[in-house]
Chain A
Amino acid sequence: MKECKKCKSNEYTNKQLVMMINECGHPLCKNCVDNIFALNSGNCHVCNRVLRKNNFREQIYEDPLIDKETFLRRKLRKIYNLKQDDFENLREFGDYQERFETVVYNLVFETNVNETNAEIQAFEEKHKEQIDRNKRRLDDDQKWIEDQLREERAMKARMTDHMEMDAKEQEAASAVTDTRKIMDELRDSNVAAEVILDRERKKQIEKELEEKEEQEKRKRRNKEMLQTRKRAAENMSFNTVIRVAGRAYVHQPLELVINGPPMPNVSEIEALGYLAHIRQPTAEYIAGGYTPMLGCSRALFEARIDLFSF
């Protein structure tokens, strides 16, 4: 559950809760950010680091650590953007990647921050040319992703094209037969042409109206659905509301009317030695949950029930 550590508001008390996070990785809700950093800069409420308001970003991942890491990675990727062909052999490329991971780790867990920052700066200066050049270049993975995306888009476009074409064809077909039929009728029948045309026009208008109505109905239904869902969400309550109504429940233990001699209880059955007179169950029965007490009390109970019913 998302909760602001500062003002203790959470998702349930505030539906519009937006958590913000800054470079130190300690989340705050938007309201707190607005309050504390009204003057654009202030101290983190946890680690006292000086933070600027416009460095706050919306927290995407629940775990602030992960959020911080993805943010840092995205930032560092702009500098550490060397590709495999920038290196002489695979080993060097591997070393470079490993170093990158170390840098990320250091920054996330804030170990040797100063040295790491210095290292990044040194790296940036040293490889300035390559970095600039690589800004526009894509590596194989990115290329592959782009390809996939492109293909998907093309596929979608093709599908819609097909569907549109089909629909058009169908429409055309029906329209053609209709017009042909009308023309036939105009030629063959001896009803006045205007009457036939009028009738056909009327038909068409009716059809259009029907379609319109249908569409409106669908729209209305969708809207209603949305509204009910919204209303339900508003009415949903997570507070414990105590409703006071009616009389308080008073438990009365149930009374078992035997109408016979009193039934011995479990300890009496054991003490009086009833169990000596019942067949000892086999291991299978006991494993199944049966105890001699069960059979015994059942027989005794049935022997007593309604014995005094005259």
Chain B
Amino acid sequence: MYATSTQKREWTYTPEKLAAMRLEINIKFRQKYESVMQPDELELFVTPEEELRMQRSIEDAALKFADKFRPHIWPSVKWTALAFFKRAFLVWVPSDTSIRMVMMACFYLAMKIDEFYITIEDFVKNMKSYSVGEPRQNAERILKLEPELMKILDYNLTVHCPYRPYEGHLMDMKTRMLLLNFDLESIRRDSMRFFQNALQTDVLLLYPPSQIALAAINFGLHAQVSGKSDEILREFLRKLIGIEEDSWAHRDARPEDLEKLEKTVTRVNQIMREVDRNFVAVTEQERENHKSQLARIQALIPALDERRKEQWLAGGGVGLMPGELAEQPVDSDDEIN
């Protein structure tokens, strides 16, 4: 249940907090290498906004990968994988991780979590369209990343997806809204498009799944009967909460119910706006730019680490050697001592 989940406790933020966290990891990364970089290399640093766009282009590619995946995966795997991915990049920065492989590890882990069982061999066979590389090598990298990823996620592996709440809302509507003059199933396609777009925004780090699901319903209604969607939503919520038709009398009896209704409508519209505004399809040009930019900084990082080591030695070797891990890398087979 979402209300008591780690998702709500640990991984749901306000937009401001989210931006602050992203800025913080960006600055941390910059500080780590700034002192050893040549002036002409400094342009390789990216802003948090650019980093976010990099994530988006990977997400875009990953969703295409997911749609081509055979056997067909169910949508909650996609949602879970992208939730892992977004959470992981609140700790890591794209510049010093192999971001594509992280995405694949997220998918592989999500399939396990969502009980969509597939062997690593079958999984890497599906990667042809997504990335180059030897299948065996890919498998090794994914399996190596998996425990590290779980550690970053603090082993909070359950992700509450909005797909089941969506079915719940739809069922509620079909049962209670008997006077609609169209088939409610017809909104499903648009709603699924909404979910697909929402996956490339931050909504899953901001709102409970039941609200996202209701936003998807509203999006579908809007596409179907554009003028009346808001009215239908209000009517639906009134029936759900149990507000009488004569709302003036009800207002006196239970004022908080009407307030809830208004707030829910506002929230649903807010989520829709959020998706509408923040979902910007990644262009081919953009993707290429990100690719080359990432490749350049990632190629430079070994050299930078070398320089930091030199600097450290020149400074008298105080403290921990840069690049040396404070703790041992995690291995899934390690026992806790």
Chain A residues with a Cβ under 8 A of chain B: 257-262, 272-274, 276-278, 296, 298-310
Q: What chain B residues lie within 8 Å of A305 (beta carbons)?
A: 1-3, 165, 208, 210
Instruction: Verify A302–B3 contact, CB threshold 8 A.
Output: no
A277 to B260, CA, bound (A): 27
Instruction: Verify B260–A302 contact, CB threshold 8 A.
Output: no
A301 to B3, CA, bound (A): 11
Contacts of B194-216 to chain A: CB distance below 8 A: 208-211, 213-214
Q: What chain A residues lie within 8 Å of B263 (beta carbons)?
A: 308, 310
Q: In chain B, what residue has the closest Cβ to A278?
A: B171
Q: In chain B, what residue has the closest Cβ to A307?
A: B210
A304 to B236, CA, bound (A): 13
Instruction: Give me 15 A-to-B residue pairs in the complex whose CB atoms sit less than 8 angstroms apart, sorted by A's number.
Output: A261-B242, A276-B175, A277-B170, A296-B171, A299-B164, A299-B171, A301-B1, A302-B160, A302-B209, A303-B213, A305-B210, A306-B2, A306-B211, A309-B211, A310-B263
Instruction: Verify B242–A262 contact, CB threshold 8 A.
Output: yes
Instruction: Verify B240–A261 contact, CB threshold 8 A.
Output: yes
Given A272-B175, A277-B175, A308-B263, A303 contacting B168 (CB threshold 8 A): yes
Q: Does B154 contact A (CB under 8 A)?
A: no
Instruction: Verify B164–A298 contact, CB threshold 8 A.
Output: yes
A50 to B54, CA, bound (A): 107
- Give the one of A258, A260, A302 with max B CB within 10 A: A302
Q: What chain B residues lie within 8 Å of A296 (beta carbons)?
A: 171
Closest 7 CB pairs of A and B: A303-B168, A299-B168, A261-B240, A306-B208, A303-B165, A299-B167, A307-B210
A300 to B264, CA, bound (A): 17
Q: What chain B residues lie within 8 Å of A306 (beta carbons)?
A: 2-3, 8, 208, 210-211
Q: In chain A, what residue has the closest Cβ to B169?
A: A303
Query: How many of chain B's residues touch chain A, expressed as a range?
Result: 20 to 34
| Nearest CB of chain B from residue A138's CB, rounded to whole Å | 67
A296 to B164, CA, bound (A): 10
Chain B residues with a Cβ under 8 A of chain A: 1-3, 8, 160, 164-172, 174-176, 208-211, 213-214, 237, 240-242, 260, 263-264, 267
Q: What chain B residues lie within 8 Å of A274 (beta carbons)?
A: 171-172, 175
Q: What chain A residues lie within 8 Å of B208 (beta carbons)?
A: 305-307, 309
Q: What chain A residues lie within 8 Å of B264 (beta carbons)?
A: 307-308
Instruction: Verify A307–B3 contact, CB threshold 8 A.
Output: no
| Nearest CB of chain A from residue B267's CB, rounded to whole Å | 6
Q: In chain A, what residue has the closest Cβ to B260?
A: A308
Q: In chain B, what residue has the closest Cβ to A298?
A: B164
A197 to B240, CA, bound (A): 104
Query: Quick one: which of A257, A272, A301 contacts B168, CB cutoff 8 A?
Result: A301
Q: What chain A residues lie within 8 Å of B167 (beta carbons)?
A: 299, 303
| Nearest CB of chain B from residue A300's CB, rounded to whole Å | 5
Q: What chain B residues lie within 8 Å of A277 (beta carbons)?
A: 170-171, 174-175
Given A302-B164, A306-B208, A261 contacting B241 (CB threshold 8 A): yes
A130 to B2, CA, bound (A): 95
Main secondary structure of the interface of B (DSSP, over half): helix
Q: What chain A residues lie within 8 Å of B213 (beta carbons)?
A: 303
13 other A-B residue contacts (CB within 8 Å) besides A302-B165, A307-B264, A309-B211: A260-B210, A274-B175, A299-B171, A300-B168, A302-B2, A302-B209, A302-B210, A303-B165, A303-B168, A305-B3, A307-B211, A308-B260, A309-B208
| Nearest CB of chain B from residue A209's CB, rounded to whole Å | 43
A114 to B18, CA, bound (A): 105
A299 to B174, CA, bound (A): 14
| Nearest CB of chain B from residue A132's CB, rounded to whole Å | 80
Q: What chain B residues lie within 8 Å of A261 (beta carbons)?
A: 237, 240-242
Q: What chain A residues lie within 8 Å of B171 (beta carbons)?
A: 274, 277-278, 296, 299-300, 303
A89 to B45, CA, bound (A): 116
Q: What chain B residues lie within 8 Å of A302 (beta carbons)?
A: 1-2, 160, 164-165, 168, 209-210
A278 to B169, CA, bound (A): 12
Instruction: Verify A259–B3 contact, CB threshold 8 A.
Output: yes
Q: What chain B residues lie within 8 Å of A310 (beta carbons)?
A: 263, 267
Instruction: Verify B174–A307 contact, CB threshold 8 A.
Output: no
Q: What chain A residues lie within 8 Å of B175 (beta carbons)?
A: 272-274, 276-277
Q: In chain B, what residue has the closest Cβ to A274?
A: B175
Q: What chain A residues lie within 8 Å of B242 (beta carbons)?
A: 261-262
Query: Quick one: which of A276, A298, A303 contacts B210, CB cutoff 8 A?
Result: A303
Instruction: Verify B165–A272 contact, CB threshold 8 A.
Output: no
Q: In chain B, what residue has the closest Cβ to A295?
A: B167
Q: What chain A residues lie within 8 Å of B210 (beta carbons)?
A: 260, 302-307
Q: What chain B residues lie within 8 Å of A273 (beta carbons)?
A: 175
A220 to B176, CA, bound (A): 81
A302 to B160, CA, bound (A): 9
| Nearest CB of chain A from residue B171's CB, rounded to whole Å | 5
A308 to B241, CA, bound (A): 11
A301 to B160, CA, bound (A): 13
Q: In chain A, what residue has the closest Cβ to B208?
A: A306
Q: What chain A residues lie within 8 Å of B237 (beta carbons)?
A: 261
A310 to B267, CA, bound (A): 8
Q: In chain A, what residue has the closest Cβ to B263?
A: A310
Q: In chain A, what residue has the closest Cβ to B270?
A: A310
Q: In chain A, what residue has the closest Cβ to B209?
A: A302
Query: Quick one: which of A262, A272, A304, A307 contacts B176, CB cutoff 8 A?
Result: A272
A260 to B240, CA, bound (A): 9
A306 to B176, CA, bound (A): 21
Instruction: Verify B172–A300 contact, CB threshold 8 A.
Output: yes
Q: What chain B residues lie within 8 Å of A307 (beta carbons)?
A: 208, 210-211, 214, 264
Instruction: Verify B240–A299 contact, CB threshold 8 A.
Output: no
Q: What chain B residues lie within 8 Å of A259 (beta carbons)?
A: 3
